[in-house]
Amino acid sequence: MINKIKTASEAVAPIQDGAVIMVGGFMATGTPEILIDALVEKGVKQLTVICNDAGVPGRGVGKLLTKGQIKTLIASHVGLNPEVAQRMNTENEEDKLTCILVPQGTLAERIRAAGAGLGGFLTPTGVGTIVAEGKQVIHAEGRDYLLELPLKADFAFIRGSVTDEFGNTVYHEATRNFNPMMATAADHVIVGTCSIVRVGEIDPNQVVTPGIFVDTIVGGEMPWQI
Amino acid sequence: MADIKEIIAARVAKELKDGDVVNLGIGLPTMVANFIPEGIDITFQSENGFLGLGPAPAKGEEDIDLVNAGAQYVTVKPGACFFDSAASFGIIRGGHVDATILGSLEVDEHGNLANWIVPGKMVPGMGGAMDLVVGAKKVIIAMQHTNKGKHKILKECTLPYTAVGVVDLIITEMGVMEITSSGVVLKELHPDYTLEQIKEATGCELTVHSDLKPML
């Protein structure tokens, strides 16, 4: 069996300036902080980050934002991180953040579509709004839909609760959110997990992300942070 | 007199039926959960990935892995289940949510909704709102009738739409209004206000239902 286990700094070593990275989590719940910390340490810039939101200052992708490492953020909601507005409105071109807002369900499904080999999907969400600008409207069975295209990335940062050495991963409670789809939609998938166990120790009935999707496993994610 | 928000939340709660699956927005709508009548069993969905949302935990018993869509610590009830965001929005778009309750910046007489952006001022993003109002069987807007006197219920929205023609019911501290093909119909008027006051506070024509009831 290939040894997928690495340290956080080894895991993020292949990531270069300008990379496109998907990051699991919802307001940082379900974001692998150890991988974010390693990326902050590495200092790569001009990143495109795909995440449900902008995290909060000091948590999740908010840390990358604070360090000015994100050039483009693709998210559904950024209102709970005040740094987003500051960086979008800055005069300094070098630091300017571009924010592309996508409805949450459309964001999840675009990522799922990329991982599932679909060329896109039709959704009623956004019809008649500015989200529809530049998109094809398809009329089917009496209703208008937007054609939404798949969204993939170079890397995915996944936050597991328990992961075996093959990569099979279980998520605890609300940490699951975007992680399972993102694990299918990037060229290189890194799981930051709370607990690494031997193959066979996870009940196969409980596995959410099959190990075949996982390239690298990093242990030491904290399960409790209160 | 009770707090305006509590008046609104308590009235919204009466719209929910035993067995309903309901998604509550952030802010005032979250308060609706405190007013569910005895004997009515509601399954609350949290769009970040679970059904069976329960009340806030006691201090010191927060679980970092368990937050609602507003990033507040919550609990789950027995029978709850967790799923990913794609499944969560499949539940929403697929018509499996009976009612969604949201606040709004503007609503117009065609049932158009604008509650996610004020260009140049506030760009928080739509989050799950666009999916929720398109997918839920019933869309209830729970909000204060005006924004410090400025009309929020209008002939035409001035802000970018969240969705077109989706609103079913508007509940404010002044009354209960239904969006129909012929505009906004006032069904209940709160006893603290007169018909003249609510009409003045509304930016479009308000048709008074022939069987107007007090909002209680």
Q: Which of residues 145-204 of B touch A (CB under 8 A)?
A: 160-165
For the segment B11-62, what is each residue's pLDDT rounded down to a tens digit? Answer: 999 999 999 999 999 889 999 999 999 999 999 999 999 999 999 999 999 9
Of A30-44, A146-160, B54-68, the range with the lowest mean pLDDT is B54-68
Q: Cβ separation of B162 and A75 shorter than 8 Å?
A: no
- Say which CATH number the domain at B103 has: 3.40.1080.10
Using DSSP, state whether B109 is helix, strand or coil. coil
Element of type H or E holding B126? none
CA A84 to chain centroid: 17
Nearest by Cα to B155 from B197, B107, B199: B107
User: What pTM value is reported for the model?
Assistant: 0.96
Question: Distance between CA B43 and CA B19 in Å, rounded?
Answer: 7
Quickly state the pLDDT bin for A174 (edges 50, 70, 90): very high
Q: Does A193 touch chain B (CB under 8 A)?
A: no
Query: Length of chain B, please?
Result: 216
Q: Which domain holds residue B119?
A: 4-214
What percentage of residues in chain A have a pLDDT greater than 70? Answer: 99
pLDDT value at position B47? 96
Q: Which residues of B touch A125 (CB under 8 A)?
A: 93, 130-131, 134-135, 163
Chain A touched by B126 (CB under 8 Å): yes
Report CA B161 to chain centroid distance, whole Å: 16
Task: Assess whether B15 carries a catalytic annotation.
Answer: no
B123–A78 C-beta distance less than 8 A: yes
- The structure tokens 């760009």 sit at B123
Mean pLDDT of the B203-208 span: 98
- A contact test, residue of B50, B74, B85 with most A CBs within 10 A: B85
Burial class (CB in 10 A: 0-12, 13-18, 19+), A104: buried
Q: What is the residue extent of each domain of chain A? A: 8-218
Tell whether A112 lies on the interface with B, counting CB pairs under 8 A. yes
Nearest CA-CA distance, residue A10 and chain B, Å = 27
Q: Please give the tally of structural domains in chain B.
A: 1
Closest chain A C-alpha to B157 CA, distance in angstroms? 12
Candidates B85, B160, B164; nearest CB to A177: B85
Instruction: Give yes or no for residue B1 having a pLDDT over 70.
Output: no
Q: Which of B6, B15, B47, B205 is catalytic?
A: B47
Fold that domain A8-218 belongs to in CATH? Glutaconate Coenzyme A-transferase (3.40.1080)
Lowest mean pLDDT among A83-87, A206-210, B198-202: A83-87
Q: What is the pLDDT of residues B112-171, one digit of tens each?
A: 999 999 988 888 999 999 999 999 999 999 999 999 999 999 999 999 999 999 999 999
Can you tell me the mean pLDDT for A36-49?
98
